[in-house]
Structure 1
Amino acid sequence: MKQLIQNFKTGDLYVDDVPVPSISQNTVLVENKFSLISAGTERGTVKVGKANLIGKARQRPDLVAQVLQNVKKEGLKATLNKVKTKLDSLKALGYSTSGVVRASMDSNGKFKPGDRVACAGQDYASHAEIVNIPQNLVAKIPDNVSFEDASYTTLGAIALQGVRQAETRLGDKVCVIGLGLLGQLTIQLLKANGCQIFGIDLSNDLVKLAQENGADNALNRADSNLKSTLSTFTDGHGFDSIIITAATPSNDPIELSAEITRKKGKVIVVGAVKMDIPRDPDFYRKELDLRMSCSYGPGRYDINYEENGNDYPYAYVRYTEQRNMETFLALLSSGKISIKHLTTHSFVISEALKAYDIILGKTEEPHIGILLEYPDSNKATSQITTIQKAQAKNYQVGFIGAGSFAQSYLIPNVKNLNTTLNTVVTSKGISGKSVAQKFNFLKASTNPDDVLTNKDIQTVFIATPHNSHAKYTINALNENKNVFVEKPLAMTINELNDVKHAYQNSTGKLMVGYNRRFSSLASKIKDEIKSSLEPKVVNIRVNAGFLEKEHWIQNPNVGGGRIIGEICHFVDLAQFFTGSKPVNVSAVSINSENAELTPNDNINITITFQNGSIANIMYLANGDKSLPKELIEVFCGGKVGRILDFRSGYLHSGNKIQKLKLSGKGHKEEVTNFIEVLNSKESELISFESLYLTTLTTFKIHDALTTGMPQTINL
Structure 2
Amino acid sequence: MKQVALDLQSGSIEVENVPVPTATRGVIVRNAYSLISAGTESSLINLAQQSLVGKAKARPEDVKKVIQKIGTDGPLSAYQQAMGRLAKPEPLGYSCAGTVVTTGSDDFEVGDRVACAGAGYAVHAEYVAVPKNLCVRVPDGVGFREAAFTTVGSIAMHGVRNARVTVGENVAVIGLGLIGLLAVQILKAAGCRVIGIDIDREKLSLAADLGADVVSNYDGLAERMKAFSPFGADAVIITAATRSSAPIETAGRLVRDKGRVVVVGNVGMNVPRDIFYEKEAEVVVSRSYGPGRYDRNYEERGVDYPIYVRWTERRNMEAFLELVRQKRIDLDRLITHTFSLDDAPEAYSLINSGKERFIGVLLQYSPNGTGISGTVTPLPKSDLRRRKVPAGAKTLGCIGAGVHAQSALYPHLPGLPVHLAGLATATGLSAHSVAKKYGFSYCTTDYRKILDDPAIDAVLIATRNDLHAPMAIDALRAGKDVFVEKPLAADIDGLRGVVEAWRRSEQRLTVGFNRRHSPLARRMKEFFGNRASPMVLHYRVNAGQIPPGHWVHDDEQGGGMLISECCHFIDFMQYMTGARPVQVYARAIEPTGTLQKYDNFQATLAFADGSLGTVTYTTLGDRSYPKETVEVFCDNAVGRITDFRDLELRRDGKASRERRWLAQEKGFAEELLAFVRGEEPDFVGSVATTLATFLAWESIDSGKPQEIDLGPVGI
Sort the TM-score into its range (normalised by shorter chain): over 0.9
1:234 aligns to what?
Answer: 229
Matches within 5 A, 1:19-58: 19-24=19-24, 26-58=25-57
1:369 aligns to what?
Answer: 360
> Is 1:516–1:665's contact at 8 Å kept on the other side of the alignment?
no
Cα 1:672/1:495, change in 2 over 3 Å: same
1:612 aligns to what?
Answer: 610
Matches within 5 A, 1:491-530: 491-530=490-529
Selected match of 1:711 from 703, 706, 711: 706
Compare 342-351 and 323-332 and name the one that shifted more. Answer: 342-351
1:543 aligns to what?
Answer: 542
Offset, 1:665: 5.3
Structure 1 residue 384 and structure 2 residue 376: aligned?
A: yes
Residue identity in the other structure for 1:529:
F
1:654 aligns to what?
Answer: 652
1:350 aligns to what?
Answer: 342
Cα 1:599/1:6, change in 2 over 3 Å: closer
Structure 1 residue 625 and structure 2 residue 619: aligned?
A: no
2:254 aligns to what?
Answer: 260
> Is 1:247–1:272's contact at 8 Å kept on the other side of the alignment?
yes
2:210 aligns to what?
Answer: 213
Compare 463-472 and 612-621 and name the one that shifted more. Answer: 612-621
> Is 1:21–1:383's contact at 8 Å kept on the other side of the alignment?
yes
Matches within 5 A, 1:401-480: 401-480=400-479
Structure 1 residue 247 and structure 2 residue 241: aligned?
A: yes
Residue identity in the other structure for 2:522:
S
How many angstroms apart in 1 are the aligned matches of 2:512 and 2:671? 11
How many angstroms apart in 2 are the aligned matches of 1:491 and 1:250? 48
Cα 1:599/1:38, change in 2 over 3 Å: closer
> Is 1:304–1:550's contact at 8 Å kept on the other side of the alignment?
no
How many angstroms apart in 1 are the aligned matches of 2:103 and 2:299? 16
Offset, 1:409: 0.8
Residue identity in the other structure for 1:69:
Q
How many angstroms apart in 1 are the aligned matches of 2:562 and 2:61? 30
Cα 1:353/1:414, change in 2 over 3 Å: closer
Residue identity in the other structure for 2:202:
D
How many angstroms apart in 1 are the aligned matches of 2:118 and 2:675? 44
Structure 1 residue 313 and structure 2 residue 312: aligned?
A: no
Structure 2 length as normaliser, TM-score?
0.94
How many angstroms apart in 1 are the aligned matches of 2:125 and 2:680? 43
Residue identity in the other structure for 2:376:
I
> Is 1:428–1:446's contact at 8 Å kept on the other side of the alignment?
yes
Compare 409-418 and 301-310 and name the one that shifted more. Answer: 301-310
Q: Secondary structure in 1 aligned to 2:373?
A: coil
Offset, 1:153: 0.5
How many angstroms apart in 1 are the aligned matches of 2:298 and 2:351? 33
1:161 aligns to what?
Answer: 158
Offset, 1:378: 6.2
Q: Secondary structure in 2 aligned to 1:601?
A: coil
Which 4+ residue blocks in structure 1 deviate beyond 4 angstroms?
A: 377-380, 662-667
Q: Secondary structure in 1 aligned to 2:609?
A: coil
How many angstroms apart in 2 are the aligned matches of 1:406 and 1:685? 23
> Is 1:538–1:635's contact at 8 Å kept on the other side of the alignment?
yes
Q: Secondary structure in 2 aligned to 1:532?
A: coil
Structure 1 residue 116 and structure 2 residue 113: aligned?
A: yes
1:17 aligns to what?
Answer: 17
2:713 aligns to what?
Answer: none
How many angstroms apart in 2 are the aligned matches of 1:375 and 1:419? 40
> Is 1:548–1:597's contact at 8 Å kept on the other side of the alignment?
no
Offset, 1:548: 4.2
Cα 1:377/1:130, change in 2 over 3 Å: farther
Offset, 1:677: 5.5
Selected match of 1:599 from 597, 600, 607: 597
> Is 1:585–1:607's contact at 8 Å kept on the other side of the alignment?
yes
> Is 2:512–2:671's contact at 8 Å kept on the other side of the alignment?
no
Cα 1:186/1:438, change in 2 over 3 Å: same
Matches within 5 A, 1:22-101: 22-24=22-24, 26-101=25-100
Residue identity in the other structure for 1:203:
D
1:6 aligns to what?
Answer: 6
Cα 1:608/1:407, change in 2 over 3 Å: same
Could you say what the CA RMSD is over the residues aligned between the two structures, in angstroms?
1.9
Cα 1:450/1:647, change in 2 over 3 Å: same
Gap runs ≥5 in structure 1: none
Offset, 1:11: 1.2
How many angstroms apart in 1 are the aligned matches of 2:582 and 2:133? 46
Q: Secondary structure in 2 aligned to 1:29?
A: strand
Offset, 1:487: 0.1
Equivalenced residues, count:
701
> Is 1:158–1:297's contact at 8 Å kept on the other side of the alignment?
yes
Q: Deviations over 1:375-403 (max 9, x none)?
A: 23568531111122364623322210011
2:351 aligns to what?
Answer: 359
Q: Percent identity?
A: 42
> Is 1:542–1:619's contact at 8 Å kept on the other side of the alignment?
yes
Structure 1 residue 130 and structure 2 residue 121: aligned?
A: no
Residue identity in the other structure for 2:689:
T
How many angstroms apart in 1 are the aligned matches of 2:175 and 2:54? 26
How many angstroms apart in 2 are the aligned matches of 1:601 and 1:194? 51
Offset, 1:505: 3.5
> Is 1:518–1:666's contact at 8 Å kept on the other side of the alignment?
no
How many angstroms apart in 2 are the aligned matches of 1:554 and 1:458? 33
How many angstroms apart in 2 are the aligned matches of 1:551 and 1:117? 29
Offset, 1:595: 5.3
> Is 1:255–1:278's contact at 8 Å kept on the other side of the alignment?
yes
How many angstroms apart in 2 are the aligned matches of 1:697 and 1:353? 53
> Is 2:584–2:604's contact at 8 Å kept on the other side of the alignment?
yes
Q: Secondary structure in 2 aligned to 1:501?
A: helix
How many angstroms apart in 1 are the aligned matches of 2:398 and 2:264? 42
How many angstroms apart in 2 are the aligned matches of 1:242 and 1:298? 21
How many angstroms apart in 1 are the aligned matches of 2:190 and 2:659? 71
Q: Secondary structure in 1 aligned to 2:409?
A: helix
Cα 1:255/1:293, change in 2 over 3 Å: same
Cα 1:44/1:673, change in 2 over 3 Å: closer
